[in-house]
Amino acid sequence: MIVLRLALQSLRNRWGTALLTALAIALSIMLLLGVEKVRTGARQSFTDTIAGTDLIVGARSGSLNLLLYAVFRIGNATNNITWDSLQEIAKAPEIAWVVPVSLGDTHRGFRVLGTSVDYFERYKYRRNQALQFSVGKPFADLFDAVIGADVASKLGYKVGDRVVIAHGLGNVAFVEHDDKPFVVSGILAKTGTPADRTVHVSLEAIEAIHVDWQSGGRAAGQGVSADDVRRKNLTPQAVTAAMIGLKSRIATFKVQRAINEYPKEALTAIVPGAALQELWGLVGTAETALSAVSLMVVVTALLGMVTMILTTLNERRREMAILRSVGAGPGTILGLLVSEAAVLVIVGVVAGAALLYAALLMAQPWIDRAYGLYIPISAPTSYELMLLSGIVAAGILAGLLPALRAYRLSLSDGMMVRV
């Protein structure tokens, strides 16, 4: 305790340099923990994007491609699923529900998703949370549209506003379905998922806006008005993909194999969780590199601490000699320098963690709103605690270098300081 009191008194006498050193360690700890929180938060956000869906079915392609375009609206499908095939698959006794999705159109840079009204009940995210409406209701009329929170926020839409869908993908619309405009019937509450950036319409509406189109354009002289199209058969011919829920998850691999071997059409069925693990395998190298960079920042801060203590040793040689003269042994001198290093590292670690949580409290809503990334404010995980403990131990070991030098100097110095 005497050595610790001496260390605290010594640091207080040099409070300026001690404060800057602790701040450098704190900022490096904040960066290291921040990277870890963002990494785990990003993984959890991706995982939480879809819950309660046992299988996703699409045309034959890679599992990652199917996951990205069907769930995250990234990329395009290689082909479609015929409606008859999907209806036949839905009759399997193990299947509880099927929600088809149709992609291929946009509205001012936002993807348009054609689906059934069951989508708003069956689609779950973030540990089985259901979609909620901040205002309005699901589509009921043929030309109703339900928009995500980000669409409403960025474009300033409200219920009752007119929406014109553009054919094809891209931020710039060259061909629009302006003869069949939609009306916003509802706005979804913020979810932090791709649903926030999506315009939802019915499958029949997708068929309706394309009924007089051929080869990516409106057929000359064959226009069908919005009123006339309501009298047509709007059963879809094909859809992009489908989400499937099973009566029992025990049957997951059985149904998956049956769909993958479907004789009438080349199809692929994936388990969302397994496909996400494949995605993490691809991005794992980037995560490791980012963690390595933040760890190097911590090492740099610790080296700065060692440098600070070493540069003050010559100025403190009389202090060490006086301590020896009043009975302090070389071990006390060694313990004094190690204690100073320990105090600086522990203060830096605690301050860094506190700064991170304060930053998360302020930035979490903005990050969720701007990037759809939910970073939970939770107690440090066992891995994070182990990481911090390792940093404290490394800081104490690093403090041994100036401590050993002070130990040797205290053995050779007397009351007089060599010049």
Q: Fill in the amino acid letter for 327.
A: G
| Average model confidence (pLDDT) across the chain | 82
The pLDDT value given to residue 220: 53
Stretch among 12-21, 76-85, 131-140 having the lowest mean pLDDT: 12-21
Residues 165/176, Cβ–Cβ less than 8 Å: yes
- Contact assessment for residue 111 and residue 168, using Cβ atoms and an 8 Å cutoff: no
pLDDT digits (tens, 9 = 90+) for 213-244: 655 555 555 667 778 888 888 899 999 999 99
Residue of 82, 80, 53, 56 lying closest to 68 (CA atoms): 56
Tokens of 51: 């819950």
What's the pLDDT score for residue 414? 47
**Strand pairing partners for 198?**
111
- Using only C-alpha atoms, the chain has a radius of gyration, in whole angstroms, of 32
Closest to 413 measured CA to CA, from 291, 316, 268 = 316
Model confidence at 415: pLDDT above 50: no
Residue 286, pLDDT above cutoff 90: no
Q: Which pLDDT score is estimated for 276?
A: 83
Would you give the distance in Å from CA 26 to the centre of its chain? 24
Q: Are 210 and 170 in contact (CB under 8 A)?
A: no
Helix axes 272-311, 63-71, angle to 10 degrees: 90
Mean pLDDT of 46-59: 88
**Pairwise pLDDT comparison (259 vs 342), residue with the higher score:** 259
Percent pLDDT > 70 in the chain is 82
pLDDT at 398 over 70: yes
The region of weakest confidence among 29-43, 64-78, 101-115, 127-141 is 29-43
Q: Which whole number is the average pLDDT over 374-392?
A: 83
Query: What is the pLDDT at residue 216?
Result: 54
pLDDT value of position 417? 45
- Tokens representing 375 are 């970073």
pLDDT at 375: 76
pLDDT confidence bin for 254, thresholds 50/70/90: very high
Q: What six digits make up the tokens of 403?
A: 């401590």
Which pLDDT score, from 0 to 100, does residue 280 have? 78
Average pLDDT estimate for 343-363 = 89
Top-confidence residue, 131 or 342: 131
Tell me what percent of the residues of the chain surpass a pLDDT of 90.
Answer: 33
pLDDT at 98: 95
**Cβ atoms within 10 Å of 82's Cβ, excluding its own:** 17
Q: Is the pLDDT of residue 158 over 90?
A: yes
pLDDT, position 299 = 83
CA distances to 176, 214, 223, 225, 252 from 220, rounded to whole Å, are: 15, 9, 7, 14, 48
* Three-state DSSP class for residue 78: coil
Give the pLDDT band of residue 192 (cuts 50, 70, 90). confident
User: Does residue 366 have a pLDDT over 90?
Assistant: no
Are 365 and 33 spatial neighbours (Cβ–Cβ below 8 Å)?
no
Residues linked to residue 57 through DSSP beta bridges, in sequence order: 242, 269
Select the more confidently predicted residue: 68 or 48: 68
Which carries the bigger pLDDT value, residue 77 or residue 403? 77
- Does the structure show a pLDDT above 80 at 328? no
Q: Provide the pLDDT for residue 203.
A: 94
182 vs 314 pLDDT, higher one? 182
What is the token pair recorded at 98? 């099927």
Quote the DSSP letter at residue 179.
T
